[in-house]
C-alpha cells in the first residue's frame, strides 16, 4: 500500500492511499479519515459510498464530514466508485463504466474482469483497512449518496450483521424499475432480472425488511428524483414496518450542498448506533 497524502484534519489525519486490488485487478485509491482517538486504539468506522462520476475525493473534500466525525471519534472511509485505467472497460455515457460501478460484481463482458465492486467494498477493502489502521472491525456503519446510497442500502441489507446502522442521501432506491438501474444492471449482470433483485433496495426491503437503524434524506427539488424513486423505498419500508427515519427535505437538490447540510445529522445518527 502506498501513501499518497496525509494531512492533519480536525485533530486527526485525512489520508489518501493506493493499493493493488485482487478483486478488481487494478490499482485502487481510497481516502481514510482517522480521528485523534485512533492513536490510542481502534475506533468505530463509517463507510461513505459515493455516486455516479465521483472518485474517492468528492465526498472527502465536499461533504464536510470530518469535523463531525472528529467530534464523535469515528473514522471515515471513502472508497472509489469503480476500477480505473487504460485496460479497464469503459462507456461513453457517464452512467456506465468507469466512475459508475454500481457496487455490484459484474458477470458480463467486458465488465467482469475488473468490475467486482461488491467484493472490493464489502470484503477486500475492509480487510486491508483493519489490518493496517486502528479501526474496529466490529463497529461499522455505512452511508452513501445517490448511486452510493443504493450501494449502502443494498450492502446493509445483503450483509446481515455487518453494520450497526445505515443511512443514505438521495439514494437510487428502485433501480430495477428505472433508467438509473436497468441499463447498468443489464450491462453488468445480464438480462436475467432475477439476478438484479439483490441490488435493489426497494425489493430487498419489501422481502426481508431491515433490523438496524435507518435514515434516508431526499431533497424535494432534486432534478433526478423521478430516477431515484424514493417513494418506492418509503412505501416498502412502511409495508415492512421498518422503524426508520425517511425524510423529504423541502427545496434541497442533489448536490453536495444538500449532503453537507445534513451530514451532522447522519454522523450523529450513526454514532448513536456505533457506541450503543
3-class state of residue 228 by DSSP: helix
Please state, in angstroms and rounded to a whole number, the distance separating the CA atoms of residues 78 and 143: 10
The answer to whether residue 254 is catalytic is yes
What ranges in the chain are assigned the alpha helix state H? 57-62, 65-72, 117-119, 125-132, 147-158, 179-189, 201-208, 225-228, 230-239, 256-274
Among candidate residues 56, 114, 145, 254, the one labeled active-site is 254
Burial class from Cβ neighbours inside 10 Å (0-12, 13-18, 19+) for residue 192 reads: exposed
Please state, in angstroms and rounded to a whole number, the distance separating the CA atoms of residues 27 and 102: 18
What are the C-alpha distances in Å from 22 to residues 28, 116, 131, 218?
A: 10, 10, 16, 35
Among candidate residues 146, 165, 199, 270, the one labeled active-site is 146
Sheet with 214-219: list strands edge to edge: 2-9, 12-20, 27-34, 75-78, 43-49, 135-144, 166-169, 214-219, 244-249
Per-residue cell: 35: 480521528
User: Between β-strands 12-20 and 43-49, what pairing exists: parallel, antiparallel or unpaired?
Assistant: unpaired
Per-residue cell: 171: 439514494
The answer to whether residue 82 is catalytic is no
The answer to whether residue 5 is catalytic is no
Among candidate residues 82, 217, 222, 266, the one labeled active-site is 222
Active site residues: 146, 222, 254
Amino acid at each position: 500500500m502506498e501513501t499518497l497524502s496525509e494531512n492533519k484534519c480536525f485533530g486527526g489525519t485525512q489520508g489518501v492511499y493506493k493499493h493493488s486490488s485482487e478483486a478488481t485487478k487494478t490499482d485502487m485509491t481510497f481516502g481514510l479519515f482517522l480521528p485523534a482517538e485512533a492513536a490510542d486504539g481502534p475506533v468505530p468506522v463509517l463507510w461513505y459510498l459515493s455516486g455516479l462520476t465521483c472518485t474517492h475525493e468528492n465526498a472527502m473534500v465536499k461533504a464536510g464530514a470530518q469535523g463531525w466525525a472528529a467530534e464523535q471519534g469515528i473514522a471515515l472511509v471513502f472508497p472509489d466508485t469503480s476500477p480505473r485505467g487504460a485496460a479497464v472497460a469503459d462507456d461513453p455515457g457517464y452512467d456506465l463504466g468507469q466512475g459508475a460501478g454500481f457496487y455490484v460484481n459484474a458477470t458480463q463482458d467486458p465488465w467482469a474482469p475488473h468490475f467486482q465492486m461488491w467484493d472490493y467494498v464489502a470484503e477486500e477493502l475492509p480487510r486491508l483497512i483493519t489490518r493496517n489502521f486502528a479501526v474496529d472491525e466490529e463497529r461499522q456503519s455505512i452511508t452513501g449518496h445517490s448511486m452510493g446510497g443504493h450501494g449502502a442500502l443494498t450492502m446493509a441489507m445483503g450483509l446481515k450483521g455487518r453494520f450497526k446502522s445505515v443511512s443514505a442521501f438521495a439514494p437510487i432506491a428502485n433501480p430495477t424499475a428505472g433508467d438509473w438501474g436497468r441499463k447498468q444492471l443489464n450491462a453488468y449482470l445480464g438480462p436475467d432480472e432475477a439476478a438484479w433483485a439483490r441490488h435493489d433496495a426497494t425489493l430487498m426491503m419489501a422481502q426481508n425488511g431491515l433490523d438496524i437503524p435507518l435514515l434516508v434524506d431526499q431533497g424535494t427539488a432534486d432534478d433526478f428524483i423521478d430516477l431515484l424513486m424514493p417513494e418506492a423505498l418509503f412505501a416498502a419500508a412502511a409495508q415492512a414496518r421498518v422503524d426508520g427515519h425517511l425524510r423529504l427535505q423541502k427545496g434541497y437538490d442533489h448536490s453536495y450542498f444538500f449532503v453537507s447540510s445534513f451530514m451532522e445529522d447522519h454522523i450523529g445518527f450513526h454514532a448513536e448506533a456505533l457506541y450503543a
